Amino acid sequence: MADGRAAAAMVKIFMRQFPLVGAYLAMKPILAVFWNICLLRRGPELVPTHPLFVGGVIVLNVLVGFFVGVQASEATAVQVATSTLVSMATIAGITWIALTARGVVGRFPATITAMFGCDLLFTTLIAVLVPVVGITSPITVWTWALITIWTIAVYGFILHRAMNVTVFVGIVFSFCMAFIAIVLAGAASNR
C-alpha cells in the first residue's frame, strides 16, 4: 500500500513538470485566475507562463478578436486581421519596453498573458452579446464602452503589479498604450 502511495506521489510530481497535460481538467482554475484579475483581486504573478499556454492565449485572443471585428465592422477581413495584429503587437511591444525600463522584463510572459487573457474574456463577452442583441443595439454599444473602460483599468492594474508603480500611473500608462494601439491599428488597416 505504501508503494502505491509513493508511486502516485512520484507521478504527481512528474506531471507538474508538464502544466498543459490534462489542461482540460484545469480550465476552471485558469479561468478563475483571469476572472480574479479582471475583478482586480489578483495580479499577473499567478498566471501560468508555460510557452504553450502563453501562445494559446495569444492565438485565442487573436481569433476571438478577429471574429468580433468581422461581426462588428464593415471592414474587410484583411483590415480586421491587420488591425487586430497591430494592436496586439503594439500592446506587447510597449509592455516589453516598459518592463525593460523598470528592470523587470522577466515578468513579461506573465504580464502579457494576463493582459491578453483578460482581453479574451472581455472580447468573448462581446462575441456572445452581439449575435443576441445586435451590433447597433444600445445595450451592445454601452456594454462595449464599459468594457473598453474596464479593460484600460484592468491593464493599468496589471501594469501596476508588474512594474511596481502606483495604480494611477498604471492606468495612465494603460490609457496611453491603448490610444497608441488604436491609432497604429487604424493607420495600418486604413480605417
CA distances from 116 to 9, 10, 137, 166 (A): 34, 34, 26, 21
Give the tens place of pLDDT for each residue, 51-64: 999 999 999 999 99
pTM for this one?
0.82
CA separation for the pair 101, 97 (Å, rounded) = 6
Q: For the chain, how far is it from start to end, CA to CA, in angstroms?
A: 68
Question: pLDDT: is 46 or 99 the higher one?
Answer: 99
Q: pLDDT tens digit string along 167-176?
A: 999 999 999 9
Per the prediction, the chain carries an average pLDDT of: 86
Q: Which pLDDT value is given to residue 5?
A: 63
User: 132-157 pLDDT, tens per residue?
Assistant: 887 777 888 888 899 999 999 999 99
Question: Residue 185 pLDDT > 80, yes or no?
Answer: yes
Most confident listed range (26-35, 119-128, 172-181): 172-181
